Structures are given as C-alpha cells and as structure tokens.
Amino acid sequence: MKRHALSTRLWHWINLVCVVILFMSGLNISNAHPRLYWGDWGFAPEDAWLIVPRFPDWMTIPGRYSLAGAREWHVLMAWPFALGLLLVWIAMLANRHFSRDLTTSRAEWRWSAIRSDIAKHLRLDFHHSGSKFNFLQKLAYGLVFGVLLPGLIATGMGISPGMEPLLSPMIELVGGRQSVRSLHFIFAWLLFGFFVVHVLLVLLSNPFRQLRDMITGGRDGA
C-alpha cells in the first residue's frame, strides 16, 4: 500500500500553493489597515487590541502596496483552497484515512502517554508503532483539518461583503464583523506556525524520503 494516497498528495501540493499565495496577499491586505478590533466596529488606534507591523514588499503579493491587486489574488486562491479542503475531507472519509490514521484512542489521551510522546519528540525520536501517526501528529493534523482550515474559510467568507449576509448568525455569535476579521488573522498565523513546525520536523526526519513519499506515495511501513 502507498504511504500517502494520490488524493492526499494532490491536495498537499495544491494546498501549499494556495496557502502561500493567500498568506502573502493577506499581508498586503493587512498593510492597508493594520489594526484589529473586537465587536461590530473599529477604526481608531485606541480601539484596537492589536496594531500589526507593516510587512515589507518582498513578503507580499503583489510585491508592492496594492490593495486591489492583493484582493484579486486572495479571491483567486480562496476558491481552490476551499474546494480542495472539501474534496480532501470527502476522500479521507471515503478511503478511511481519517478514521484509520487521524482519530485518537482513549489510551492516547492519558497523561503518561502524552508525556512519553513529548519526550520522544524532544529527543527527535519520531518512530512510533501501531499507527501511521503518533498522538501529537494526530492532534496537530486534527486541529488543522478540523479547526484552522475550516475556520479560515468561514471567517474569510464572514468578512467578504458579498457573503456576509449568509453568515450573519456566525458573525453575531462571535460578536461582530471586526471579531471575525480578528479571528481570520489569528487562524492565519496559527496555520503559519504549524507550517514552520511541520517543515522543521520534516528537515529533522529524513527530508529526502519525506519529499519522495509525498511525490510518489512511498510504501506504507517503509
């Protein structure tokens, strides 16, 4: 059996392109109004809970300040990003990847097991038996697939003027449109943090094999 299904590999690389462009165009959008608020409204600096620093042009798409251009890139990549997440969830449920590899057992939630898993990671020991991923990996992937990625899509739609009326219950639930914008920012940076840790762990655990397997599929257990 392949270590990574074709659907997983296709989604992985397409999603990587989408996330990079969405994040870099989002930094350009942030430069247009770098203050975040809670509630229904906010504009003045004294109302902000966070003032975001300005991001340099080399970190943004386009590579200069252009709110209109950044929004065009953002919307362009939002569609394959959202559709890809929907399709990969369907594939994970259909091929049992989710139930087989990503769900956790009650025993894995025992503090002794969690502590052992953390200790192994600190020793850069990523070997595990009995399942494809260890507890920390399952927890991280579960949060990404179940919270961060859907959260980014929902909050992105919530701050889009055309979609806002459809999501008014969610907007009211979190306290207003500015709260949705703040959550979108938080989800984006949490996903960036996951990306950094993910790349770091790949580099520490046979990166050539990891890249090869994500391209060719590899062999399960190899």
List, in sequence order, every beta strand (DSSP E) within the chain.
35-36, 50-51
Confidence (pTM): 0.90
Residues 6+ apart with CB under 8 A from 127: 120
Q: pLDDT tens digits for 108-143?
A: 899 998 998 899 888 877 776 667 788 898 999 999
Query: Burial level of 58, CB count in 10 A (0-12/13-18/19+)?
Result: exposed
pLDDT of residue 146: 94
- Determine which helix (DSSP H) or strand (DSSP E) holds 185, and give its type and residue range: helix 177-204
Supply φ then ψ for residue 50, to 5 degrees.
-150, 130
DSSP assignments along 130-178, one per residue:
SSSS-HHHHHHHHHIIIIIHHHHHHHHHHTSTTTGGGGHHHHHHHTSHH
Sorted by where each starts, the structural domains of the chain and their CATH numbers stand as: 6-216 (1.20.950.20)
Q: Which two tokens stand for residue 104?
A: 């956790």
* pLDDT tens string 59-88: 999 999 999 999 999 999 999 999 999 999
